[in-house]
Chain A
């Protein structure tokens, strides 16, 4: 090939790169490894982690452990999906396009809303994108966020607010749910959006029906609902039922491994009137040109997107989370209408059983009396870190240490119980807790 180019060596090929910037030494990296050596190395690293197949975990706090039926990875990992590019050439990308169209439909079915996009990076950035929709191009104003929204999501929102230029006001919680009085006081004519998480970060169920009129008191204010535990869609009122305008959140736990928190799967659904403000890719159904008129799928309304609209795009997102959307789609198809309801009921009942057993122990007090879904907050008789150390002796990972985000909730733990925890798992946790009970 060099000969065809009239060149002597590979070095000749690098002539366009000026000498002053050439790296005239090998990169300082470990030497190449053959496949068996690499496997040994990486399996060793993996073995240094206590993965969830080796422990009993009660961690949730934004990332949830749900069963993944074998059918999901088997189909999701088909290499025609895995190794494909963004479906810009629809004639050879019908599989991915149709799967995403089905994903968009299922997100609408979960949320009850009119339209959904093809995915976003994660729940936190999905919340940011929803706020951008509410602000509109170049728009200014204030966003009101409940302190019951995942602290990580709020941190991400503040990062973006500082760069893009809008203000964020936080509303306190009371008894584990958004304070209605504080919310009423915070929302004014300058409020462009209000974000409420359901169920919220403490696992508590917000009275969204009472919140909604406070948000919509001013006709321009957009009600954004956030859901990071999608199993709750099986039992709790849908965002459409409580009149949210935009619903965002996290769907990773539907069919995808939690993989240390990423890649995640942000979703965004909205009322029809937000169509032109939607961020990211949208798949639409259409027909062939000409006479045949066979059904097909394409990326559509691309004039909103960065590769066409450039600096005036609704978002800068390009790469999204398509393969995870395929996984979630297959998962939701496998679970089905009845399965989703059953899943939610299992989570709800098991979490309540666990909460009763734990709070029967001396020194373990429920922090709040508000209704909850599959997570609950417990005031501990000892520090959260000491309790965690104690539990690890039994290969149990306890709940999330809330003191990390809420100074007034030091020595409080957020426990999560999904369908993956058996009664035996819960009883083992309770037995271990009993040893440190007051």
Chain B
């Protein structure tokens, strides 16, 4: 296949696309305005290209990229659902997109109102007292939530609590966030019988170190797609020991209108609006990670918070003296919040319940149909939630075909790969989350392809082991990339290999 040359390998000196207005004011000599020693010596060597070169280049790049609009994304824990075009249009309205964050409140009434209402919708969905829309992504929400918990403990004179309990199937962001919040992460194993938290281990940890426990971080359903039926008991035990419960909302698509983290006993929850509320992932961001909290944590929320006065005017309220402070500049990823608002208003209460039900139905259907050809993790659990974990253990044993090989082979059929090798506790894991927006036909095609790959693994394993065969590039040398990092283009660097398109 062909290679697209870098933008730096295109163009010619003096070429340029963007035009700027002519200088319409008198100009003083530069040296009289800026001390010469503080002026730039070497101009930034940005590309010199014409507009059509830019258009063709980035159009070519987009054609070398897979998105939800291209095909099915069975990517576990990532909730790659369809992103409605309507929501994109709403976020692009000049009345939302062209707002400066520091404009006088009187000039941004609609923007504050939207956030005021969205906060209430999310609080209702989560069963929490209040929500802050400030965190920029899920991991940022986790960290903010742990900061709140820390401030809460310190305020109660229990600042000595330094442990955060995290199950071994948790997202990697959980332990990383705990460290950044100044905590030590303690891992709790999964109960091999139920796929839920090992309750004996939890009890013994709380018995021996309960006084040190600041919080437990859980996602329910967990990353195995299993709903932990002990949630309420876990909440009781951890609260009894003086700890707080943090709910990782990455899997919230499974619980909309069915159950609420607040009702399960959690004190803090984050949402990934780019998952649950269908704002596009944008190739890895932007997202938004609002967090909801119970009443006792409200005083610690970052500020400002949207509020409404008696005349019906909206304003930014400063948080009280116990606030942890700001966790980012300005008030949040507003452009993402506009899309989430549009999403919730489009679906309404009944629609959101149907979202969760359909997501669960689709996942169970795939799990059921794939069980003939692939091992399913925790088969004794009769029903999964919105996702499940299949494995390539059988294929690996029989023909050496791995989860990674199967993932790569799926790309040949115009579909993205499942999340592989996660959760870490399942060997050759393939974590599959179909979401509610896929049709029965798409699911059936995925099943058919997965069965064919299983067949290939038995009859012609090489074709799987050397996949993909139809993508713009084949498997890339990851080891070389890490051993000799080339993280930027430099003049004189060897030209990109392959036949470039003019």
Contact = CB atoms under 8 A, between A and B. Distances in A.
B172 A308 contact: yes
A354 to B, nearest CB: 8
A10 B485 CA distance: 51
A257 interface: yes
A307 to B, nearest CB: 4
A181 interface: no
Interface in A261-320: 261-264, 275, 281-290, 292-298, 300-301, 303, 305-313, 315-320
Given A5-B368, A109-B44, A16 B80 contact: no
Most A C-beta atoms less than 10 A away, residue of B114, B281, B348, B473: B473
B24 interface: yes
Most A C-beta atoms less than 10 A away, residue of B98, B288, B345: B98
B361 A119 contact: no
Contacts of A369: none
Contact of A207 (B3, B17, B38): B38
B333 interface: yes
B364 A5 contact: yes
Contacts of A296: 473, 476
A83 B280 contact: yes
Interface stretch (B89-97, B203-211, B237-245, B392-400): B89-97
B190 interface: no
B335 to A, nearest CB: 4
A150 B102 CA distance: 13
Contacts of A315: 176, 180
Given A5-B364, A38-B86, A125 B328 contact: yes
Given A262-B330, A342-B20, A121 B182 contact: no
Contact of A13 (B35, B69, B364): B364
A176 B489 CA distance: 38
Interface stretch (A94-102, A188-196, A213-221, A358-366): A94-102
Given A18-B229, A316-B177, A45 B95 contact: yes
Contacts of B351: 32
Interface in B29-48: 30, 33-35, 37-48
Given A79-B69, A80-B63, A156 B283 contact: no
A182 interface: no
Given A42-B93, A261-B331, A337-B47, A1 B440 contact: yes
Nearest to B109: A48
Interface stretch (B136-144, B290-298, B452-460): B136-144
B229 A259 contact: no
A75 B54 contact: yes
Most A C-beta atoms less than 10 A away, residue of B281, B331, B440: B281
A407 interface: no
Contact of A289 (B25, B86, B476): B476
A338 B12 CA distance: 12
A411 interface: no
Most B C-beta atoms less than 10 A away, residue of A116, A233, A295: A295
A284 B485 contact: yes
Contacts of B380: none
Interface string B195-206: 000000000000
A281 B284 CA distance: 10
Contacts of A44: 110
A27 B124 contact: yes
Nearest to A373: B34
23 contacts: A26-B349, A45-B113, A48-B113, A67-B20, A85-B284, A91-B473, A94-B473, A98-B64, A102-B6, A104-B487, A108-B488, A109-B44, A164-B181, A236-B40, A259-B334, A262-B332, A262-B335, A289-B477, A310-B175, A316-B142, A318-B139, A319-B287, A353-B26
Contacts of B471: 91-92
A124 B365 CA distance: 45
A284 B487 contact: yes
A159 B270 CA distance: 19
B125 to A, nearest CB: 6
Contact of B257 (A26, A89, A152, A153): A26
Contact of A321 (B86, B143, B286): B286
Contact of A322 (B55, B63, B283, B362): B283
A87 interface: yes
A118 to B, nearest CB: 7
Contacts of A250: 329
Interface string A20-61: 111100111111110100110111111111111101010101
Contacts of B60: 95
A15 interface: yes
B68 interface: yes
A346 interface: yes
A28 B25 contact: no
Contacts of A320: 137, 284-286
B65 A334 contact: no
Contacts of A345: 23, 27, 30
Contacts of B345: 30, 32-33, 38, 41-42
A4 B365 contact: yes
A379 B417 CA distance: 60
Contacts of B449: none
Interface string B362-380: 1011001100000000000
B481 A284 contact: yes
A45 B104 CA distance: 16
Given A2-B361, A31-B350, A86-B283, 20 more contacts: A33-B345, A45-B95, A49-B111, A57-B100, A62-B330, A67-B18, A81-B61, A108-B488, A109-B46, A110-B44, A122-B329, A164-B181, A261-B100, A286-B486, A318-B138, A323-B285, A333-B49, A335-B46, A336-B17, A350-B23
B260 interface: yes
Nearest to A400: B102
B408 interface: yes
Given A1-B361, A53-B98, A323-B282, A94 B124 contact: no
Contact of A237 (B28, B39, B226, B362): B39
Interface string B72-96: 0101001010010010111111111
Interface residues of A, number: 199
Contact of B61 (A31, A49, A99, A392): A99
A119 B284 CA distance: 10
Contacts of A426: 25
A109 B111 contact: no
A333 B50 CA distance: 9
B8 interface: yes
B108 A29 contact: no
A260 B96 contact: yes
Interface in A157-201: 158-160, 162-165
Q: Across chains A and B, which 8 residue pairs bring their CB atoms closest together, nearest first?
A: A46-B95, A261-B101, A261-B330, A323-B282, A32-B348, A95-B65, A48-B110, A263-B286
B139 A28 contact: no
A139 interface: no
Interface string A327-341: 001111111111111
Contacts of B107: 49-50, 55, 392, 397
Contacts of B171: 307
A298 B285 contact: no
A84 B281 contact: yes
A289 B475 contact: yes
A272 B185 CA distance: 31
A30 B348 CA distance: 6
A46 B330 contact: no
Contact of A42 (B68, B97, B280, B342): B342
Contacts of B181: 163-164
B258 A83 contact: no
Contact of B18 (A13, A90, A234, A334): A334
A150 to B, nearest CB: 7
